[in-house]
A and B are shown apart, each in its own frame.
Chain A
Amino acid sequence: MTVAIDFSQRDKLKLDDFLLKSSAGWLAGNQKRAFDFFCTLPLPHRKNEHWKYNQVDFLNSGDFILCHQAGQAEHKSQSINFENSIKLDFVNGILVNQFNDDEPALQLTRIDKLNSEQQALLQQQLAQQDKNIFAHLNQLIANNAYLLEVKANTIIDKPVYIRHISDPGLENSEANQLAVNALYVSVSANSQLTLIEQFNSNTNDSENTLLNLQQSFIQLAQNAHCKHYRLNLEDANSHQVSEVNINQMKDSHYKSFYLGLGSKLNRTDINLAYQQEHASADLSGVYLPSGNETIDYHTNIQHKNGHCQTNEIFRGIIADQAKATFNGKIHIFPQAQKSDAYLNNKNLLLTNQAEINTKPELEIYADDVSCAHGATVAQLDKKSLYYLQSRGIGLKKAKTMLSLGFINELITRIDNEVIREFLLSLVDKRMSHID
């Protein structure tokens, strides 16, 4: 049956409509809790600091129909040409391909099929999440939630390549639509995983709003390593509110690259917590909104234990009338001595109308730590432009070169050549459109 949600009339919703037929007690319990919170928490509002820069008025635009058809979306956008990869395709949140599990150490299980050990893994991740209304909604709608496990002591050579496609045209609906998806990743002790999450949309010709609520969880056990690429390549008209929650145990390492091209609403919250000592994370990202797009990254790194190391670098190039927000918080707890945290955010505004709100926040409650943070906002350097022009290079090309130069450093550091070349060609194409 079709479930519709009107955000402004949540009191009319019925829990029964959301419970999975196969829901075991624990899952139904989760859904019930999520339902109660979802129905009672206030909607995000621009007066709320956390949503200050986001256009969330569309939530008051009537019914959102929950996507339930696994349509075969035509996928116009580029994909990474891995020679060998494990592919998962989700259309409007729904898994549409077979998981080719010729890799015995890797397992994908839908949430209602989890055994008790797996349930524990998932509950552990959920317990760490600081849930907002979208997180509750995400848990309530559980049918597109999966657990991806890497067994202990294994290096998964093939990258796991996950593509999410939003296509409101698929379901012949006049109403707004809601695509909900959750992925719980668990990398066991001494194992390694490369994970790519790519988001595309075909919303430009559509009159409906498709709101994509996606949440990923990454649990890194002792000495587990994860390389994570999260690429938001949606078109200008799409809406996404998403979260990545990372929990790290001793000696684990999380290395990531986030790319955001911007869209009508593109909000990503990255929450990372060191649950044990001697873990480290290297977060980097690039956002390139143009036109009337917005993009918003909120990162929250919690040093809950000592001897952990964070290195976080995000750069943004904002063109036309686009708006970007970067809110980078690092929280060092009192017991987290010998923490080492570095946060840097640099922005390039290509026009006078482009807008950036950058706010690095350090909250330090331990005394023996090494922390540094900084944020800059600049325009293209006139002297550099002139230098390039004086060598025969046209103004437009010169701007493209300097813009690429601003973010190149972060992309060329990516060690996977196939991903690096894909990203370079992508940003190259993106940047050549700017004036």
Chain B
Amino acid sequence: MLTIDNLHATVDGKNILKGLSLEVKPGEVHAIMGPNGSGKSTLGYALSGREGYEVTDGKINFKGEDLLEFETEERAQKGLFLAFQYPVEIPGVSNMEFLKTSVDAVRSYQNKEPLDAVTFMKLAREKSKEVNLDQNFLKRGVNEGFSGGEKKRNEILQMMLLEPSLCILDETDSGLDIDALQTVADGVNACRDPNRSFIVVTHYQRLLDYIVPDYVHVLSDGKIIKTGGKELALELEEKGYSWINTLPEEA
């Protein structure tokens, strides 16, 4: 699915990712944990091709292609999805129109006809129910006036509608109460599929009780410094990240 090899990335000329390698196979769930400022969001942006996040070295292979060749929208069309830590508000653009345009764009890449408006509306309503987002949120501007939790649920709704093959969730659990967390996790679990992979960025072991990872990685200063199974998350929660820093770096 995804192979990242020795990735170096800079933001504003500052080195943020400093030789990150990661392999994600179809169907796997990888959790990435790590202190604030270690580069977790930067990794997501670099994968999605955000302007200003410059890859200076290393390779990213996504489903057999060199991901770095493609524009942001092409990466999305090829099945890469990033759920943002801080989704932007876009007043004036209706959420429904936004969702339909993006689904149609991805379908068009797959040589599929755009969905007719009624079919799409039904689908969007059905999915928004699954993430516990009232239908009224479909009519509002994209994320306009949404609470933190509603924005995150809207991200999951987009993921469900776009049916991507790689989902990167950047702190989707931050700021959620326990019910919202459950809803988001249920949404993610409903999307789990042998051909779909997840990279879940989180600070909290809590989320990983619901979305059980195959691997847990610790990102620190732009590199993955430790990888383990789901029990690593528990250990981190107990001992903190400083415990890792005292360990010898893995080869």
Contact = CB atoms under 8 A, between A and B. Distances in A.
B103 to A, nearest CB: 8
B90 A387 contact: yes
Contacts of B16: none
Contacts of B51: 382, 386
Given A382-B51, A386-B51, A401-B93, A391 B162 contact: yes
11 contacts: A381-B88, A386-B51, A390-B73, A390-B76, A390-B82, A391-B73, A392-B73, A394-B105, A395-B73, A408-B92, A408-B93
B87 A393 contact: no
Interface residues of A, number: 24
A401 B91 CA distance: 11
Interface string B57-96: 0000000000000011100110000101001101111000
Interface in A395-415: 395, 397-398, 401-402, 404-409
A391 B109 contact: no
Interface residues of B, number: 27
A314 to B, nearest CB: 15
Interface string A364-404: 00000000000000000111101111111111011001101
Interface of B: 48, 50-51, 71-73, 76-77, 82, 84, 87-88, 90-93, 97-98, 101-102, 105-106, 109, 141-142, 158, 162
Given A386-B51, A397-B101, A401-B98, A391 B92 contact: no
B158 A402 contact: no
A162 to B, nearest CB: 30
Q: Which of A382, A390, A398 has the most CB of B within 10 A?
A: A390
Nearest to A408: B92
Given A391-B105, A393-B101, A384 B90 contact: yes
Instruction: Please list the 4 inter-chain residue pairs (A to B) with the smallest Cβ-Cβ separation, ordered nearest first.
Output: A405-B92, A391-B102, A392-B76, A405-B93
Nearest to B48: A390
Contacts of A391: 73, 76, 98, 102, 105, 158, 162
Contacts of A393: 73, 101-102, 105
Contacts of A401: 93, 97-98, 101
A284 to B, nearest CB: 14
A184 B219 CA distance: 73
A409 B91 contact: yes
Contacts of A387: 84, 87-88, 90, 142
A148 B111 CA distance: 56
A390 B166 CA distance: 13
B106 A392 contact: yes
Given A388-B98, A391-B158, A398-B73, 9 more contacts: A384-B90, A387-B88, A389-B73, A392-B102, A392-B109, A393-B102, A394-B105, A395-B71, A402-B92
A388 B143 CA distance: 12
A344 to B, nearest CB: 14
Contacts of B109: 392
A398 B90 CA distance: 11
Nearest to B76: A392
Given A392-B109, A405-B91, A386 B158 contact: no
Contacts of B97: 401
B92 A404 contact: yes
A384 B76 contact: no
Given A388-B98, A389-B72, A407 B92 contact: yes
A286 B5 CA distance: 50
A401 B101 CA distance: 10
Contacts of B92: 402, 404-409
Nearest to B93: A405
Q: Which of A393, A397, A402, A406 has the most CB of B within 10 A?
A: A393
Nearest to A403: B92
